[in-house]
Structure formats: structure tokens, C-alpha cells
Chains A and B, each alone.
Chain A
Amino acid sequence: MDPLSPPPPIRRISLDAPPTVVAPAPPSNGHAPAAAARSATAGSARERMRVEAVTIAYGSKVAVNRVDLPIRQGEVLALIGPSGCGKTTLLRSLNRLTELTPTAARSGRIALDGQDVDVLEVTELRKRVSMVFQQPNPFPMSVFDNVAYALREGASKRPRRAQLAEPVELALRRAGLWDEVKGNLDHPALRLSGGQQQRLCIARALAAQPEVLLMDEPCSALDPVSTTRIEQLIGELRPQIAVVIVTHNLQQAQRVADHVAFMYLGELVEYGTSDQIFHAPQAQRTRDYVGGAFG
């Protein structure tokens, strides 16, 4: 409502006639191109990661209970579910970030291209399975160095800037940030706006050419315009890379995801295509959650 317009006059409701309830119109499907892109890539999807009977516990509290999931390149997988249902824990286990929590323990198998992630060198795994966090968190260095840091080995400052100009530009272009920052690559990254910072974090995560991109509620700290921008970006990345996104926002899941996994109390309740989960959910709990009965 226009904040300046006068408040609407009080309408007297006739007690004889039942009040008419106007149901809000269902969100119109304004994302036909995304849907088209979805169906176009659905056939070419190729499995990159597989989660098999994975259970993760913090101490004696089970956060994820025997979950099986495929993660395919060429499509976006959304993990949805109420707070505390284990979706972020599951996401973090994919690049073994859960190991940073001393009390966390995992069983089951997670494979990247058929190879158990536990036998991979953890630094190697995390270069191939990269992550974007809920809060935009650029490092305290220049825009250029934020991306270059991901390309350089360890803490090294080599290769030099000139050699990295091209891959850094490519990463910033893929994240849709290049046009906004190309003139001030030397500025501190922390001076960018929140939405730009988050896209810089995406550029940083893409720089090392990962096979899988994990996103943990990447838009929850952003305004609607930045959110739209990042959702577009996810659509553009879909054919190149496998994307797993955790989100609390069901509309967002509907807009960006090809497949959706609904988790509740650590269990995977239902996994299916986005259309199926949102329009024809099989399980009662999924129906309740998607329909807004709890959340």
C-alpha cells in the first residue's frame, strides 16, 4: 500500500450476508524462462555426488538420520524444512565442514564422482565442493584479492596479479559482478553493498572451478532486489555446475530448484521434482509444511 494514501474508510459489514473472503491470488508463474531452462537441462543432468545412509550426530543428538540423496550437475537441489531439521548440517557434511565441530560424528557414505569424500584430501575436496554462506563474508582484502585468494595455493601471494587477471575476471563475470566492480578491483571488499558482497562470495566460491556449489540460505540477509539477482545467477549456473541450496523460503525453492528434498527432524521425508513437491506432495508432513500448516 502507498504509505501516503489515506486509510481506507471503515466498511460496515452487513450481518445478514456472510462476509466474502477474497483469497489472495496464487503467485503467477513469472518464471517461465527458468522453467524452460529447467526442462531443457533435466535430460542432461549427471550425477556428481551421492549421499548414502548418512547419519550425523552432535554428541548424542542426532541431527541427520539416514539420509539418501543424489546431487546432479545441471540441476538445482533445494533442501527445505523447518529450523533445526538438519538441512544445514547435511549441507555442511558434503564438504566435510561438519568436522570442524568437535562433537559432530558422521556415519554413512558421501561420494563425489564415485569416490568417498573421506578418502579425498580435505583441501582438495573443498576446492571441488565449494560453499556460500548465509552472511556475506568477504575477507578483509581487496575485491581482486578475495577472488585471487581462492585461486592461489595456501597463503601464497603467487601467482602474481597479472597472471590471475583473466580467471578473476571470469569468476566475477560468472557471478554477475564484473560490470559493477571492474573499475575498483583494488577497493576493500567490505565497502561493497550486502548484495554485492554476497555475489563476491559466489565469485570467490566459483573461482577454483568447483563441481558442486553449496549455498546455505544465501539470500536470507539480502533485500529483494539482490535476492532476485542471486536467483537469476543460480539459474545461469545451473547447466555448468551442481547447486545445492538450503532455504527457508518456499517461493525461492519453487523458483530456483529442479529437485526439492523436504527434511523434518533430521529425516528426509520426501524427495522429488519441484513441481511434485509443491503441487502433489505424497507425504502428509510435506503437505502440511508446503501448505503452511507448520513452519
Chain B
Amino acid sequence: MSALAPPPTAPSPPRTRPRDSAGSWPLADRIGLGLCWAAGISLALVAGAIVVYMGYQGLSQLHLHLLFDHPTGDVDQSKSGGFLDPIEGTLLLTAIGTAIAVPIGVGVALWLVEFGRPAPLARAVESVVEVIAGAPSIVLALFGLTLFSKPVFTFLSFKPSGAQEAFGRSFLIAGTMMSLIALPLVVGATREALLAVPNHLREASLALGKTKGATIRRVLLPSIRPGIATGATLGMGRIVGDTAIVIVLLGATLGTEPADGGFFPANLLRGTGSTLTSYVYDNSPAGEGNAPEKAYAAAFVLLLLVIGLNVVAARLSGGRAGGGPAWTR
């Protein structure tokens, strides 16, 4: 053990310069700093411009009744109704996609972090998750249509009269494929949260004579709940914003159309419908509806929804910095 040394009493030398300021930097560094500022500010300007423009267009076109009226196919825009059905469709599809993605994603992350053996299989699973994250949703949609049109999967949609194959488009099918685009986000956020849990917390539970399963259920899952919620919210944002899967796999019909036969909610889940994204697309000048005013109003609602989800995600992941558990500080 070292002898107790007296604390240093000499005062630290006075600073010659109060603070390191960019004015004293070499020219190249100052140019670099300027470029960084320019990049950051221009990005913020672009994002701000989108929000302001959509807000202006949206607010000038949005009327409360649009949120509560069913859409109709009328060419006269004063009679073509609102977008209640697309809102319902967005919520329903998001719910289905999240309900499938969260348990599977959490399970995959738990397996990767807590078990992860054999190692080659774990690496393969990781790459598969990355491939899914990188795959364009239109490709997933096309694959889904091919797969779920097989007669085996008729129970997920319905069989049009006279057809050999299933229709292959329904809320269930679109939701299933949507869960794939949310899955990598859930896996990623859950994995990060698990890796942030210190090992001694797991060991503390095991040292009480608990099994690994009990430790996961009672200690790890409660610890990583904010991480799971963040992943789920980010995943919801992706589902809400996706268009390709809706157009290919949900039918993008004008209104929500339950399948013939069967009872609620099965007929609704097996039926077709639309979401805000497909509604915006259809009513944009590129779509057959060609009613840009309604497209702007719906796009504004969509934007609010996505921004809201992102705010929630940011809150869940970062808002606990001060009040989090001791071992996360």
C-alpha cells in the first residue's frame, strides 16, 4: 500500500487563452468546420422546408370532415369523400405488422445475444436480418404475392370465383410482409439494449439459483423494455410510411373491403383496403384519382403520424438518460 502523499498544493498555471476557439485554428480546419456547418444547416433547411410546405399545403386543404368520411369514386372532388378508410387501414396494418414483428424480433435478438450458438448459425442469422433490412420493400411485396397466392394460403385472403389460386392480397398478408421491414429495427434495438445490460446482473439472478429462462423473463426483459419499445416504434414508422407493399399486397382499394363470407374480424383481416400512403399515391397527379388537394391533406396527416412516432422513439431511447438504472449510467 502506498504511503499517503500530501495533496499537490501548487496552483495550476493560469490559462493563456480562455478557451480553444476556431479563430486560432489552421485554415484547413476552419474550412472543414465551415463545410460541416453548411452540411448540417442545409440538411436542416431541406427537412424544415418539407415540413413547412407540407404543413402549409396540408393545413389549407385539410378539413375535419375528411378524417371521418369514407372515400368515394366520384370525379367531382367535392363529392369524393374523405380518407377515413385509409386511416383505418394504416392503423390496422401497423398493428398487425408490429404484433408479428415484435415477438419474433425480440426472440431473435435474445437468441443472438444470450445463446448465439453454434456461432456460424448466429452469424448467418445476423446476415439474414441485414439482408431483410436492405431489401427494397417492393421486392418483398412481389415475393409475398407469389408465395401467398398459393392455394395453401387461401385462408389468409380469399379465392376469387373461378380462380385456381388465392387472391394473395389482404390485411393479413400485407401485415405479414410489413412485419419483415419492421423486424430488423426491432432486432437491432433489442440487441443493443441486451448488450448494454451488464453481465453481473445476469449472474446475480443465476447466483440465486435461477435458470437462464427465469433470468430472461424476470430480469432481462424488464431491463430492456425501453429498447424493445424504441425498436417497435421505429418499426411502426417504417410500416406507416411504406407504399409498395400496400399497393401490391393490400389491393390499395378505395375503401376497406372485407372478404365475402366469414365473420368480423376475420373477414376484415382477409379483405383488402388502403392506407394513407396508397391514398396519397392514388390522389397525386401520378395516380388515377388525381386529386392533389386530398393528397396533400392525407400526406400531412401521414407526416404528423411519422413525426409523432419518431418523437416517441426518441423519448423512449434517450429520455431516460438521468433516471435510468444505475448500471446504465
* Residues of chain A having any CB pair with chain B under 8 Å: 7, 24, 95, 97, 100, 122-127, 130-131, 133-137, 139-141, 149-150, 154-155, 190, 194, 197, 201, 204-205, 208, 250, 292, 295
Contact = CB atoms under 8 A, between A and B. Distances in A.
B326 A154 contact: no
Interface string B318-329: 000000011100
A133 B208 contact: no
A9 B25 CA distance: 44
Contact of B210 (A100, A137, A154): A154
Interface stretch (B197-205, B259-267, B289-297, B307-315): B197-205
Contact of B200 (A7, A123, A134): A134
Contacts of B327: 135, 137
A140 B222 CA distance: 7
27 contacts: A97-B207, A100-B203, A100-B206, A122-B209, A123-B209, A123-B211, A126-B208, A126-B210, A133-B203, A133-B204, A135-B326, A137-B198, A137-B201, A137-B204, A139-B205, A139-B218, A139-B222, A139-B223, A140-B219, A140-B222, A141-B218, A154-B211, A155-B213, A155-B218, A197-B326, A250-B1, A292-B2
Q: Is the interface of B mostly helix, strand, loop or mixed?
A: helix
B9 interface: yes
Contacts of B217: 155
Nearest to A188: B325
B198 A124 contact: no
A194 B206 contact: no
A78 to B, nearest CB: 16
Interface of B: 1-2, 4, 9, 198, 200-201, 203-211, 213-214, 217-219, 222-223, 325-327
B325 A190 contact: yes
Nearest to A135: B200
B207 A154 contact: no
A204 B214 CA distance: 16
Contacts of A250: 1
A137 B208 CA distance: 13
A135 B326 CA distance: 10
B208 A292 contact: no
Contacts of B198: 135, 137
B206 A127 contact: no
Given A125-B209, A130-B208, A190-B325, 20 more contacts: A24-B4, A97-B206, A122-B209, A124-B209, A126-B206, A126-B208, A126-B209, A127-B209, A131-B204, A133-B200, A135-B327, A137-B204, A139-B222, A154-B214, A155-B218, A190-B326, A194-B326, A208-B209, A292-B1, A292-B2
